[in-house]
Amino acid sequence: MTARRPRERGLTIEDVARAAGVSRQTISNALNAPHRLKAETLERVTALIEELGYRPDQSARSLKSGTRRIIAYPTPVDDPANPNPLMGGFLEAVVAAAGEAGYRILLVRPRPGQTHEQALDELIAARTVDGFLLSDILRDDPRVAHLAAEGFPFAAFGRTEPEHPQSWVDVDSVQAVTELVGLLAARGHRKVAFLASSSGQPWMDDRRDGFLAGVRRHSLAGQEFSVRGDEPGEIVAATRELLASRARPTAIVAAGDWLALGVYAAARAEGVEIGADLALVAFDDLPITAFLQPALTTVRLPLRRIAEALVSRLVRIVEDGVNPQAGLLLPGELVIRPSLGP
């Protein structure tokens, strides 16, 4: 394997073309439109570009294309003392996908006193970014409505309303939870319960719909329970009450991994062994779930695929002016662990 040379000062695309014995356009195609080249030509030219350490002048590319090659990501509010681990994973995946497409990610948040819409307008007016990547999409999300009205490019992690651009990507939570219920039914469970979130977030409602669909499909006896504010102590108390009742299920589907943690505590207090006396499955695949005893069966979000799809859709809108005709649903990834039981 040839070691890459340090980049020569002032190396131009013409220098690379001469070294490769090809035209300037061929080098440009290798960088910007590789599908136009034969496989052997692309492989040879790409190897030389890497060996020479050539990197195109981004400012020149921006002038030519009229883009800044910057995507703004309005970050959700989080607690530094108790951060959401999924947010870090998603951000890493987004930065990697944007880099592969030749873009950078700008993290933004409204200043004190600013609305989300005002923060978006500030960046649009300054011509700082080419588009926005939104996450945590709520019903009738004002950010989506605002960017749609402005005609400014965006892609969304979460479904948007039918009257707005369909540049969204989401996880098929309904199908994933339906499959979880199917796993329980296949192991002989007939009485199942759903520990719901009281947040009212769309993706949580989708998970509930998946549970209900699975119960209907497999003719199970299903019940739901939740606590106001998803307060941990109340989750434990409510679950203990359920496990001590005559209506005790043999399996629980938790809408999120953090809710399942309360079930572990409640089961331990009631002398119920998860995986043997009670099957437990959940959603999100937080890092801690692999270390629980027994480890938790859950649904993993395909964060890299989500990020790649979002960036790809947004770049196509920015560079080609092409808006997707429909959103994209990606399957969740079932992670089977001992909490499911034998």
Domain with CATH 1.10.260.40 in the chain: 8-56
pLDDT in tens, the chain (342 residues): 444 444 444 678 888 889 989 998 888 778 766 777 888 888 898 888 888 887 765 544 544 445 689 999 999 888 888 778 888 899 999 999 999 999 999 999 999 999 999 999 999 998 889 999 999 999 999 999 999 999 999 999 999 999 999 999 999 999 999 999 999 999 999 999 999 998 889 999 999 999 999 999 999 999 999 888 888 999 999 999 999 999 999 999 999 999 999 999 999 999 999 999 999 999 999 999 999 999 999 999 999 999 999 999 999 999 888 889 999 999 999 999 999 998
Residue 71, φ and ψ in degrees, nearest 5:
-110, 130
Cα 195 from Cα 217, distance rounded (Å): 19
Short-list 167, 147, 146, 173, CA closest to 312: 167
Q: Which residue has the tokens 């434990």?
A: 236
Torsion of CA 107, 257, 172, 106, to 10 degrees: 0
Residues 298/257, Cβ–Cβ less than 8 Å? yes
* Model confidence, pTM: 0.79
Architecture, CATH, for domain 70-171+304-332: 3-Layer(aba) Sandwich (3.40)
- Residue by residue, DSSP assigns 62-114 as HHHHT---EEEEEPPP--TTS--HHHHHHHHHHHHHHHHTT-EEEEE-PPTT-
Per the document, the length of the chain is 342
Q: What is the pLDDT of residue 5?
A: 47
Structure tokens of 12?
Answer: 């131009």
Q: What is the pLDDT of residue 10?
A: 61
3-state secondary structure at position 162: coil
| Identity at 94, one-letter amino acid code | V
Cα 32 from Cα 67, distance rounded (Å): 14
Q: What is the pLDDT of residue 151?
A: 93
Cα 159 from Cα 138, distance rounded (Å): 8
Indicate the class that CATH gives domain 8-56: mainly alpha
Domain with CATH 3.40.50.2300 in the chain: 70-171+304-332, 173-300+335-340
Fold assignment, 173-300+335-340: Rossmann fold (3.40.50)
Count of helices and strands (H, E) across the chain: 12, 12
Cα 255 from Cα 38, distance rounded (Å): 49
Cα 93 from Cα 110, distance rounded (Å): 23
